[in-house]
Amino acid sequence: MLHALLHLFFPELCSGCKKILSPSEALLCLRCRHEIPFTRHEHLPQNEAFTKFYGRVEVESVQCMLSYQKEGIVKNCIHRLKYQGKQEIGTLFGLWFCADAKRLEQLSGIDYIIPVPLHPKKLKKRGYNQVTTFANTISQKTGIKVAENILFRNYNTSTQTKKNLFSRSQLKSELFEAIDNPEYYDCHLLIVDDVLTTGATLENCIRALHKLRNCRISVACMAFSQS
């Protein structure tokens, strides 16, 4: 009864198309759930996300679940997740990720999941890391532990775009730092992030983590953007 009343006065909107959801729908309407674009990266080890890292850093496998377009369902969902506190979207995406046997197959042998960290200032401002629920859900479904105290961001990227190219490349190595902890030596680590675009952020994470002795690194993202 209360739920029905709340729905009447504060109708929940679809995170994909902003249409009012019916009481039986949650987060996404049926149409958006049907139309959301999957990349199928899990079927192609040398996929477009994997090849982004060619000649840059060594990586075992890369898979992004959804296709991120300039407009559309995925973009709207990520926006709500990132800027409007809808962390349930990360949980939903994590459940989808683990619902596919082929995607799970690529996670076999992974020792730890590492969400891309936010700069502490940004974390304080936003109140949460948008990758946390995605990472935690994959962890719960697979039993692979999340390692949150290994990778740190030590520079706020919000000022990065204002710098010229020279200083930006100088800042690159300062972006992420891995703690030298023997617990993570000889491990296969899975870095998780929201959208893979240029790969610059992930490249810096991978570079930092490669300082851990004999570790292998794979990447899983919610979405892949062509641009």
Closest contact distance (angstroms) between CB of 11 and Zn ion is 13
Residue 16 in the binding site for Zn ion (CB under 5 A): yes
Closest contact distance (angstroms) between CB of 50 and Zn ion is 31
Closest contact distance (angstroms) between CB of 14 and Zn ion is 3
Burial of 214 (0-12, 13-18, 19+ CB in 10 A): exposed
* Close Cβ partners of 86 (under 8 Å, ≥ 6 residues apart): 15, 27, 80
Phi then psi for residue 65, to 5 deg, are -75, -45
Question: Which amino acid is located at 173 in the chain?
Answer: S
Region near Zn ion per CB under 5 A, out of 9-17, 77-85, 108-116, 188-196: 9-17
- The answer to whether 139 and 97 have CB atoms below 8 angstroms apart is no
Please give the structure tokens belonging to residue 121: 């200032």
Region near Zn ion per CB under 5 A, out of 25-33, 131-139, 153-161, 174-182: 25-33
Region near Zn ion per CB under 5 A, out of 26-34, 39-47, 64-72, 212-220: 26-34
Specify the 3-state DSSP secondary structure of 164: coil
Taking CB under 5 A as the criterion, which residues in 32-61 touch Zn ion?
A: 32
| Nearest Cα residue to 144 out of 94, 178, 185, 180 | 94
Cα gap 76→35, rounded to integer Å: 13
Region near Zn ion per CB under 5 A, out of 24-32, 92-100, 134-142, 213-221: 24-32
Indicate which single residue of 27, 29, 107, 217 sits in contact with Zn ion (rule: CB under 5 A).
29
Cα gap 190→151, rounded to integer Å: 12
Indicate which single residue of 14, 110, 202, 215 sits in contact with Zn ion (rule: CB under 5 A).
14
Residue 17 in the binding site for Zn ion (CB under 5 A): yes
Closest contact distance (angstroms) between CB of 79 and Zn ion is 14
Closest contact distance (angstroms) between CB of 26 and Zn ion is 12
**Which stretches of the chain bind Zn ion, using CB under 5 A?**
14, 16-17, 29, 32
